[in-house]
Amino acid sequence: MDSTPRRARRLPHQRECRYTGLALPKPAAVVRHEKSMTVTRSLVSVVDDDESIRESLPDLIKEFGLAARAFSSPEEFLASDCVDQTKCLLLDIAMPGMSGPDLQRELKLRGRKIPIIFITASTDRAVRPRLLEQGAVECLFKPFSDAALLDALNTALRVN
pLDDT in tens, 70-84: 999 999 999 999 999
Q: Is the dihedral of CA 45, 49, 51, 56 positive or negative?
A: negative
Q: Is residue 21 part of a domain?
A: no
Q: Is residue 22 part of a domain?
A: no
Indicate the number of domains in the chain: 1
Mean pLDDT of the chain: 82
Q: Are 114 and 84 in contact (CB under 8 A)?
A: no
CATH number of residue 101's parent domain: 3.40.50.2300
Rg (C-alpha) for the chain, rounded Å, is 24
Q: Is residue 103 part of a domain?
A: yes
pTM of the entire structure?
0.74
Question: What confidence score (pLDDT) does residue 3 get?
Answer: 53
Q: Is residue 60 part of a domain?
A: yes
CA-based max dimension of the chain: 89
pLDDT in tens, 20-67: 444 443 332 223 334 444 456 899 999 999 999 999 999 999 999 999
Q: Is residue 10 part of a domain?
A: no
Q: Is residue 7 part of a domain?
A: no
Q: Is residue 28 part of a domain?
A: no
How far apart CA 4 and CA 53 sit, in angstroms, is 69
Domain that holds residue 129: 43-159
Q: Is residue 48 part of a domain?
A: yes
